[in-house]
Amino acid sequence: MRHNHCPDLLSQLRGEWRRVGRSAPSRRSLCALRESARELVPCHLRDLDGLVELLEPSGGADTLTRARLVALLLEHAEDPLVRRCLLQTMLPGIVAVARKLRFGDGIADSPSSFLADTLAEAADLLCDWAGQRRPYAGPDLLSALRCRLRRRLLSEKARRVELRALPERPAPRDLHGPGTLAHRLAVDASAGGDHARLLYARCVLDVPTTQLAAALGVSAGVIRRRLVTAASPYLGVPS
């Protein structure tokens, strides 16, 4: 099964990284890494983008060196640019985790939305682990990411019925006149649209984001991102 929308997101991340990874702040962050581990960071590298290239399978670094560099990045990941560098380095592994979980098939709204959630979860994980010393940082991070996502998928599958029931709760009558956004959302939600149900629950029934997150077994940040995506068709803007 091909996931046509996933490459778009990955291309956006790579395009963003080319700009950020070659910036002056990126060069300063690399200098700080080099001061911490001069024998590990090659002197010919100018910025964090060069480090990402080195860490690629075709970058020329051996397996042990790559593992030590990833561990170094995690140890210094309290620096947002270093953390972003680590995320970029781990993209192939993150995509592999999403693929092993079949891109949330049958549970996620779409492969691209599941990949977006996976990347968001990976970014949260890097924030949680920033500053830690882990010799096997790469495998440890991917294993933790896979466990987090698997738990969320199981939780979402078990609790999804709660969200489906939310539109059945009464909303103020004056919001439901023909032609109103609430009426359109109610119709779309009744037709089985998960995005419409989510918007209806949050915007019409005023269900708190935290309650929606608990019902679906995801973080509040994930719910906010899904709401933005869900709202786009109703606002006439691209998602």
DSSP string, the chain: ---TTHHHHHHHHHHHHHHHTTSHHHHHHHHHHHHH-TTTS-TT--SHHHHHHHHSTTSS--HHHHHHHHHHHHHTTTSHHHHHHHHHHHHHHHHHHHHHTGGGTTTSS-HHHHHHHHHHHHHHHHHHHTT---TTHHHHHHHHHHHHHHHHHHHHHHHHHHHHHGGGS---GGG-STTSHHHHHHHHHHTT-HHHHHHIIIIIS---HHHHHHHHTS-HHHHHHHHHHHHHHHHTS--
What is the average pLDDT across 114-139? 95
Nearest CA to 148 out of 83, 219, 88 is that of 219
Residue 118 above 90 pLDDT?
Answer: yes
* 53-92 pLDDT, tens digit each: 999 989 989 999 999 999 999 999 999 999 999 999 999 9
| Residue 35 tokens, joined | 């001061």
Side chain identity at residue 106, one-letter code: G
**pLDDT for res 162:** 53
**pLDDT for res 207:** 81
**pLDDT for res 164:** 55
**pLDDT for res 179:** 53
| Residue 109 tokens, joined | 């709204």
More confident residue, 26 or 174: 26
**pLDDT for res 62:** 94
**pLDDT for res 160:** 59
What is the average pLDDT across 210-238? 76
How many CA atoms within 13 Å lie on the side-chain side of 163? 30
What's the rounded Cα separation, in Å, for the pair 35 and 217?
A: 42
In CATH terms, the fold of domain 169-235 is Arc Repressor Mutant, subunit A (1.10.10)
CATH 1.10.10 location in the chain? 169-235
Residue 22 above 90 pLDDT?
Answer: yes
C-alpha radius of gyration, the chain, whole number? 21
Q: Are 123 and 87 in contact (CB under 8 A)?
A: yes
Q: How confident is the prediction for the chain on average, in pLDDT? A: 83
At 187, the pLDDT band (50, 70, 90 cuts) reads low
Query: Which of 24-38, 114-128, 163-177 is predicted with the least confidence, judged by mean pLDDT?
Result: 163-177
At 174, the pLDDT band (50, 70, 90 cuts) reads very low
More confident residue, 200 or 148: 148
At 171, the pLDDT band (50, 70, 90 cuts) reads very low
**pLDDT for res 161:** 54
**Residues of the chain above pLDDT 70, percent:** 79
Q: How many CB atoms lie within 10 A of CB 7?
A: 14
More confident residue, 80 or 222: 80
More confident residue, 194 or 230: 230
At 170, the pLDDT band (50, 70, 90 cuts) reads very low
- Please give the full DSSP string across 6-42, using - where no structure is assigned: HHHHHHHHHHHHHHHTTSHHHHHHHHHHHHH-TTTS-
Residues with Cβ < 8 Å from 130, sequence gap 6 or more?
A: 74, 77, 78, 83
